[in-house]
Amino acid sequence: MPAILALLILPLLATALAAWSRSERLGHRVTLLGGIAHLAASLYCLLARHDPFPAGSWLAVDPLGAFFLVILSHTFVLVVLYAPGFLRRMEAPEYARSRRLFYPALNFYLLANTLVLIVQQFALLWVVMELTTFSLVPLMYFYRTKESLEAVWKYLFLVSVGLVFLFVGILFLGVSAHGVVDYAAFVVSRMTEAAPRLNPLWLKASFIFALVGLSAKIGLAPMHPGDIDATSNAPSPIAALMAGSLRGTAVLALLRFYQVVAPTGVRPFADRMLIIAGFLSMAVAAIYMWRSRNFKRMLAYSSVEHLGIIALGIGIGGVALFGALLHLLFNSFGKIALFFMAGNIHHRYGSCEIDRITGLTRRLPWSGFVWGFAFFYIVGTPPFGIFFSELYLLLGMIRGADWLPLTLLLALLMVIFIGMGRAAMRMLQSPDPAPQSIPASGERFELSHALSLYALAISAPLAILQPAVLFDALRGIVASFGGNP
């Protein structure tokens, strides 16, 4: 009961309280308390393998869902801690309405994403996926500019079309279970048990439509454009939330389909589709990172790259799937830091154009330092966590003797490293003078820097020490997919 309270009821109450209250401070405190309670409950469910819901119900916290709940909660708490600093910069009258909606929308976002992670019934899963889209709209439209409206429109439209595809996928999944599983048992566990008896043709069609549909939300190519515009035009804390948790939520929805497909003869086909989607996403990211003149768009393409890596890991399976799950966790840490610093840089320079950000280490020493640190983190430099998760992925490819995909992966990673590095280093060390309005120095160490450094630093001990409580849970998840981590 306490876990259900923290996971569902508190975010709901926090949404209502934040909406009713006119005090931003109260809204922040309620949101933060709710987020911390949510994080504690998520950690408890993961580490103690505790499911607070009755067996066989449409809601359940299985180990896979618990892991994603921890990623969601952790990202959420950090964003809420960052939020007051961000809102202090947005005191102009045109942002008044957006500020009033900020904390209620944030709590609703947490509730909607939590529902996706714990729902086990496929039809209900689709409904709550829609809710996550709607929960983001007021947050993405914070600036109320022409550009943000365009981004909201494109995101809403593309994701909605994607969710229609997902709907078709769920429909076909139901058709594949015709005569095998009845409606009352259209839940993940029962479908997985009955999987070998499902119609393979409809199961294949179901997975394809689910993959295409969810690609728009995950941010996989070619359904990524709406996501890129939305992420790059959203306020930095919201972009961090999207990059750190929303995509993970959509990955879990895809994994629910994969759980049904895994014990069947359709699995090799599904794996091929995931590998193709992964490489396509990395290729698109590699190309557009070189072309991008806007550092927030560059970070958005970095998300496309990393989700491509995750799709690749799921498709390869075994130790690569283990790496993919770790990559989800560590990618969320890195994106938090990058987007928090992107917000600082954007605020101080008044622009997101890479060419206009010069001498970052001199102008904003702390933000520049963390930005550089975060760049090395996200490109997979040891001893950061992403290095280890990519290593597991490579190990999976070596074990499977997948030499061509391995070579292609390494080549793409190199291209992305150089492309992103060019932009990051230019921002940090370009000698061109910055606009006169930017002071040469004087940036103080702020909470945003502390949060970012924490997010970056925590991955190394996790990856190196490999705490048994977390890593055993991940190994158990991989084993449930029939893999050997």
Partner 1 sequence: MINALTILFCLTLIYLAVTTRLSAYVLVLVLQGVLVAGVHTLAFFHDLAWSHVAVAAGVLIVRTGLIPAYIVKIMRDLDMRHGDGTRRYHPGFLIEMAAVIVGAFVLSHQLSRFAPVNVIPLGAAIAGMAAGGLLIVRRRLLLAHVVGFLIIENGLFLLGLGVRAEMPWTIELAGFLDLFVLVFLMGIAINQLKTHFPEGGSDELTGLRE
Q: Which of 455, 454, 231 is nearest to 343 (CA)?
A: 231
**Binding to partner 1, residues 179-208 (CB under 8 A):** 183, 186, 199, 201-202
- What's the chain's length in residues? 485
Task: Tell me which of 20, 134, 403, 445 binds partner 1, using CB under 8 A.
Answer: 134
Judged by CB under 8 A, the stretch of 7-15, 153-161, 215-223, 439-447 that binds partner 1 is 153-161
C-alpha 146/C-alpha 134 separation (Å) is: 19
Judged by CB under 8 A, the stretch of 86-94, 178-186, 338-346, 415-423 that binds partner 1 is 178-186
Judged by CB under 8 A, the stretch of 190-198, 288-296, 318-326, 364-372 that binds partner 1 is 288-296
C-alpha 67/C-alpha 71 separation (Å) is: 7
**Binding to partner 1, residues 297-316 (CB under 8 A):** 297
Instruction: Spell out a b/e string for 9-36, using b for 16 or more CB atoms within 10 Å of the CB, else e.
Output: ebbeebbebbeebeebeebbbbbbebbb
Alpha helices in 350-446 (DSSP H): 360-363, 365-378, 385-399, 403-429
DSSP, collapsed to helix, strand or coil, labels residue 90 as: coil
Q: How far is the CB of 156 from partner 1 (least distance, A)?
A: 6
Identity of the amino acid at 99: R
Q: How far is the CB of 456 from partner 1 (least distance, A)?
A: 28
Nearer to partner 1, 92 or 404 (CB): 92
Q: How far is the CB of 140 from partner 1 (least distance, A)?
A: 11
Q: How many residues sit in the footprint of partner 1 (CB under 8 A)? A: 45
Judged by CB under 8 A, the stretch of 13-21, 105-113, 145-153, 410-418 that binds partner 1 is 145-153
| Cβ partners under 8 Å of residue 315, min gap 6 | 270, 271, 272, 273, 274, 275, 277, 278
**Binding to partner 1, residues 417-436 (CB under 8 A):** none
The residue behind tokens 């040891």 is 382
Q: What is the DSSP string of 249-296?
A: HHHHHHHHHHHHHTTSTTHHHHHHHHHHHHHHHHHHHHHHHHH--BHH
**Cβ pair 116, 72 in contact under 8 A:** no
Identity of the amino acid at 272: R
Nearer to partner 1, 226 or 308 (CB): 226
Nearer to partner 1, 312 or 354 (CB): 354
Q: For 126, how many CA atoms within 13 A lie in the half-sphere containing its CB? A: 21
Task: Tell me which of 94, 147, 193, 355 binds partner 1, using CB under 8 A.
Answer: 147
Nearer to partner 1, 174 or 263 (CB): 174
C-alpha 193/C-alpha 63 separation (Å) is: 17
Nearer to partner 1, 43 or 124 (CB): 124
DSSP, collapsed to helix, strand or coil, labels residue 157 as: helix
Task: Tell me which of 149, 408, 415, 438 binds partner 1, using CB under 8 A.
Answer: 149
**Cβ pair 119, 128 in contact under 8 A:** yes
**Binding to partner 1, residues 229-268 (CB under 8 A):** 229, 232-233
Judged by CB under 8 A, the stretch of 66-74, 89-97, 175-183, 235-243 that binds partner 1 is 175-183
Is 167 a binding residue for partner 1 by CB under 8 A? The answer is: yes
Q: Is 356 exposed, middle or buried (0-12, 13-18, 19+ CB in 10 A)?
A: middle
Enumerate the β-bridge partners of residue 119: 59
Judged by CB under 8 A, the stretch of 106-114, 159-167, 262-270, 324-332 that binds partner 1 is 159-167
Nearer to partner 1, 59 or 370 (CB): 59
Nearer to partner 1, 217 or 449 (CB): 217
Torsion angle in degrees (nearest 10) through CA of 317, 51, 328, 245: 140
The residue behind tokens 């993959």 is 211
Identity of the amino acid at 370: V
Task: Tell me which of 12, 40, 90, 123 binds partner 1, using CB under 8 A.
Answer: 123
Nearer to partner 1, 165 or 333 (CB): 165
C-alpha 19/C-alpha 407 separation (Å) is: 52
Q: How far is the CB of 385 from partner 1 (least distance, A)?
A: 30
Q: How far is the CB of 420 from partner 1 (least distance, A)?
A: 15
| Cβ partners under 8 Å of residue 347, min gap 6 | 89
Contact letters for partner 1, residues 441-470 (x by CB under 8 A):
------------------------------
Task: Tell me which of 80, 112, 136, 152 binds partner 1, using CB under 8 A.
Answer: 152
Identity of the amino acid at 22: R
Q: How far is the CB of 291 from partner 1 (least distance, A)?
A: 5
Binding site for partner 1 (CB under 8 A): 123-124, 126-127, 130, 134, 137, 141, 145-147, 149-154, 156-157, 160-161, 163-164, 167-168, 170-172, 174-175, 178, 183, 186, 199, 201-202, 229, 232-233, 288, 291-294, 297
